[in-house]
Amino acid sequence: MTKAPPAFHVLAKPTGAICNLDCKYCFFLSKEMLYPGSRFRMADELLEAYIQQLLEAHQVPEVTIAWQGGEPTLMGLDFFKRSIEYVEQYKKPEQRVSHTMQTNGTKLDDDWCVFFKEHNFLIGLSVDGPQAMHDAYRVNKGGEGSFPQVMLGLDYLKAHEVDFNILCTVHAANADRPLEVYRFFRDDLGAEFIQFIPIVERATEQLLPLANLGWSERAGAQRPLYVQQGSLVTERTVTAEQYGDFLIAIFDEWVKRDVGNIYVQLFDVTLGSWVGQHNLCIFSPTCGNALAIEHNGDLYACDHYVEPDYLLGNILEERMIDLVASEQQRKFGQDKFDTLPKYCRECEVLFACYGGCPKNRFIETPEGEPGLNYLCAGYKKFFKHVSEPMRFMANELRYNRAPANVMAFMAHRDAQLQQLFAKAHRNDPCPCGSGLKFKQCHYRRMGEQG
């Protein structure tokens, strides 16, 4: 047994994969196939054991209890009231417990939001942009869009002043409209915290036609179980180039006007990398401290690896901390670094990426070595693009100054560039430093804009 980490994160799925929506890209819908005949409801005995073991295992004062699904609100409010009671019963004197829930928002009402506010829940609300983009894939069991119901849920959250984040997946229906998505969240929804999650759905050649139909149950049709296999992707999947361009477009607006007011998880995490901190598993050297627990107590290596090969055990049979500290789980986390191809190890932005999430490492490097992240080209483009403002903000932090000072820095830099653009000739090197000729870079962009 290896030494247990002092802290770790668990996504608890009290309803398993059961959800009242039928989002086309939601691979987790298929996971109910792992538990045939189950009621998909976490029993009270397990709820108590989970809370007790989670709090006992943590050797740090801050502990987060995170609920996800499926759709966790299908458990009903009384379940979560009991969870609070167990927290009060089992937390250590020095522990401060915070509560989070990721929800589609369609079941929220006054009662839910009074409870969230009373217990300081942070709610992650799934919204994919304006209605047409959101409803492209986030549909109910009848195939109808869920946008009106989600907006009603958001209204309840706002009315009760519940803290919320927007969780937006990036896919084929919204990837080419980044500023429309970002401005909708910022200006229309009033969101201050935003998380972007790229949709990458792997499939084998045999499975791809079924996967393109989605992961839910279909009457009279074969249903695929999603596992991390295959080198092909579904038609909903964002391309690496799309994702990189999506992030760059939003960053360029954010860094000039919204720093300090709007918090985009990926931008915050990237800044952390520039000062030597790794605050998100996918961009850390190793992983293995973000696990998932199913409705029956089965503990899995990761939310993206809820499949038989990555089942660690059941917390009603073995202590959670022993499973977290197991050789199997520690190897899972260390493999994130140890299996990096040479192409990654020699990359100039390795410090910011560390190969990304292992679930997406299924393409080959230019030299033919396996294990390159499907999103590599997009990540590399983004990290290179943001290098200058990231260096500036990192330096501000080192001197205890506000990173938001970058906005004045960017305004001054842009004014200088405009003066250089005015003097540049078509065949000159572009003053922006891209290495392209002016006519192939900002001259062309200026023509497109004007």
Beta bridge partners of 66: 11, 100
- 183: tokens are 């401005």
Name the helix (H) or strand (E) containing 362: strand 361-364
Instruction: Compute and round to an integer the Cα radius of gyration of the chain.
Output: 23
In angstroms, the CA 38 to CA 14 distance is 12
d(CA 333, CA 284): 10
380 three-class SS: helix
- Burial class, 305, CB count within 10 angstroms (exposed 0-12 / middle 13-18 / buried 19+): middle
Q: What whole-number distance in Å separates Cα of residue 410 and Cα of residue 392?
A: 10
Q: Is 303 a catalytic residue?
A: yes
Strand partners, 64: 98
CB 380 within 8 A of CB 243: no
Contact 166, 191 (CB under 8 A): yes
Q: Please tell me which residue in 111, 163, 303, 428 is annotated as part of the active site.
A: 303
DSSP state for residue 282 in the 8-state scheme? G
CA distance linking residue 175 with residue 50, whole number of Å: 38
Residues, the chain, total?
A: 450
Distance of CA 344 to the CA centre of its chain: 22
Q: Which amino acid is at 376?
A: C
Task: Classify each residue of 408-426 as buried b or exposed e, where b means 16 or more C-beta atoms within 10 Å of its C-beta.
Answer: ebbeebeeebeeebeebee
Reference 129, options 185, 199, 207; nearest CA is 185
Q: How far apart are CA 192 and CA 190, in angstroms?
A: 6
- Please list the residues that pair with 195 across neighbouring strands: 167
Residues 6+ positions from 219 with CB-CB distance below 8 Å: none
CA–CA separation, 105 vs 126, rounded Å? 7
Catalytic residue numbers, as ranges = 303
